[in-house]
Amino acid sequence: MQTLKQKHRPFCLSVKGQVKMLRLALTVTSMAFFIIAQAPEPYIVITGFEVAVIFFFIILYMLRLDRLIDCLFWPLLDIINSMVTAIFMIIISVLALIPETTTFIVLGGVFGLLAAVCCIADGALIYRKLLFNPSGPYQKKPIHDKI
């Protein structure tokens, strides 16, 4: 019996990879504007932490460590991270946009809101993949092969 091997698409070329890269770029831009404007420290710390976490997930998926470290259910962690990041970025961005502040803080807030939209899109993409393909690549053997 010949098994069909699935063609592997690099993470950077997938839709999920593109959305995650865009999310990283928008968060880094927001953090840069907050640093330039000398915004309050929580704005810089939260965006900096989110940059580190997004970078971790990108490296994890690029090196395919999610398949190697199978004791954790990575899609669920990624969805939770996307939603928590979206909430934090919305709060920080709204707080940055409410008072009369400098142009750079306003730009940081706008880019933060765009990053929050990307976080929601990223979480929705992962959720959709889990919903329509729950076994996905995380299942060791197909169910029909068990005898």
Is residue 63 located within the same domain as residue 78? no
Find the domain containing 104 and state its range: 73-132
pLDDT value for 143: 54
DSSP assignment string, 36-47: HTT--HHHHHHH
pLDDT in tens, 88-147: 999 999 998 898 788 999 999 999 999 999 999 999 988 888 887 665 554 445 555 555
Q: Is residue 122 part of a domain?
A: yes
Is residue 87 located within the same domain as residue 101? yes
Rounded to an integer, what distance in angstroms lies between the CA atom of residue 120 and that of residue 81?
Answer: 10
Q: Is residue 1 part of a domain?
A: no
Rounded to an integer, what distance in angstroms lies between the CA atom of residue 31 and that of residue 89?
Answer: 11
Is residue 94 located within the same domain as residue 127? yes
Q: Is residue 108 part of a domain?
A: yes
Q: Is residue 140 part of a domain?
A: no
Residue 130: Cβ within 10 Å count: 17
Residue 104: Cβ within 10 Å count: 17
Is residue 126 located within the same domain as residue 116? yes
The model's pTM: 0.79
Is residue 77 located within the same domain as residue 66? no
pLDDT in tens, 20-73: 999 999 999 999 999 999 988 999 999 999 999 999 999 988 888 877 888 888
Rounded to an integer, what distance in angstroms lies between the CA atom of residue 36 and that of residue 103?
Answer: 10
Query: Which range is least confidently modeled, 7-11, 82-86, 134-138?
Result: 134-138
